[in-house]
A and B are shown apart, each in its own frame.
Chain A
Amino acid sequence: MVQKILAGDIRSIARAITLAENEDYQAVELMRSLYSHTGKAYLVGITGPPGGGKSTLVDRMIAYYRKLDLKVAVIGIDPSSTFTGGALLGDRVRMQAHATDSGVFIRSMGSRGHLGGLAVATADSAKILDAAGYDIIIFETVGIGQSEIEVASQVDTTVLVTVPGLGDDIQVLKAGTMEIADIFVVNKADRDGVEKSVMAIEQLLSTWDMTEDDFVPPILKVTAKDNIGIGELAQAIEQHKKYLHDSGKFEVRRRNRAVTEVHTLILNQLDKWAHDKMTKDITTRDNIEEVYLKFIDPHTVAREALRELELETMWDKWGQGADGGG
């Protein structure tokens, strides 16, 4: 499978992504073999509130990069899923014109219930696609929230897409998530209110604490449906890429990414362990019942549970300020 992926075999790439999504153990082995082949692709995140025309924008970006003869992969992430765990993924519709282009790979992804899993799946998928020779990998994410921030930490350039008339959303966005943006796009710029949106973003930017060395996010007016402004967007991405390299931040970002990835992987495993422990381990379950009945305090029970991992003494260390925590 490794050889086939490296050779760009579509079926194998698709299967490998499935393994990553399924959190199958084979994916771990696969990553081990593929990892040394990664690092060439440039990762772009396209994010923003629903109704922003992101899929159409991505569709046009694919066309743009294909003209430059670059291979493009897209991972469309839709974190909405029903309580049954099902998902209905429709981002592809806007990009289906590229379905038969052998230089384009499009994959739709649901969250399958927990966000940590999604972050691992997207990171692994990006590596698979990177190793398979895709030059540009685009993550498209719907909505603004935890999953966007996690995904943003995995890409090199994050493009935040909004549209005129979503003014209220900008208010919402201010609450912390807009900082992830390296580039702002006001899509559907043929509509009334485009200047108002641009001004709102400018105003927001003026409140950012930026030094001279920081990259000032450009604000681009784009009308994706009419293919207007796509070249400018690609250029802005290119400029941001250049900035990252020139400033040395590219390496900083990738180093941070390594940290985040390992961190996430550890947390995921611990989370699963904790979940199992609390649902399957009879002693722990009994103990939780006793917490409820106020016979024991929760700290004691957690400490007891952690004993299995020999982690119970961690608390003592933190308490003494010996080994960093938190």
Chain B
Amino acid sequence: MSPVAVVTDSTADLGDLATSAHIAVVPLTISFGNEHFRDGIDLSREEFYKRLASSTHPPATAQPAPSALAAVYTRLLGAGASGIVSLHLSSALSGTYNSAATAAREVDADRIVVIDTHSASLGLGLIALQAAEDARLGMDVATIARRARDESPKVQLLAVIPTLTYLARGGRIGALAGLLGNVLRIVPIVTLKDGEVAEYAKVRTFTRAVDQMVDITTSRIQGRGRARVAVLHSVAPELADSVARRIEAAVAPALLISACVGPTVGTHAGPGAVGVAFIP
């Protein structure tokens, strides 16, 4: 029996990792004013952050059309996949999940399972990688889907954002608004809560916030050699490397990847941010 195919969207921020894991990636559309790009295809990460910093208005992201997803599903099934598990960004943040569900109904509702992971960026990426690994081991659609749904609530996401400017501009600042224009240069450690950016802790200085984020991460991971960890950054590869090395030394995760995040997170975090997505 031919294996199950795994599909995700470009917000999983997997980049080349998706290719090597045989995960099909459907791009979202990013618009700077009247210019439209397919995320990760027409617009590199570096180019995205360059434009983000120079444009006065935040870019808009648009979910892929159901037809684009349907085309991918049709192609994969045509190529001999026995079924498809399609994993997507939190439906609280984007309509991508809805597009995928619509496409799945059109193409083959029996063989395609669409899952709202309630996560974002490499949190979604970690779940997709797990699903791809399961598929490689020959599990069926139902098993892979069940395992992915079990994993979703375990994903934890933390990030340190050097400036609140981008959060404020994108209207996602919410509870962090009080930190704008503070006398003490307070840096928040943020997390994703019910699909919204939420403050996890307030810390003074960026360096100390990153230290604390690493401490929280390693303290939440019980046992060496089991966790799956993704370090995410917005064009701050050296910082991400140092965070990854410290996590490696402390808990030696089973999987440790690092990637530059795309527009879904990057629009609000701005350049220079670093974060961790992990399944303890």
Same complex for A and B? Answer no
Which A residues form the contact surface with B (CB < 8 A)? none
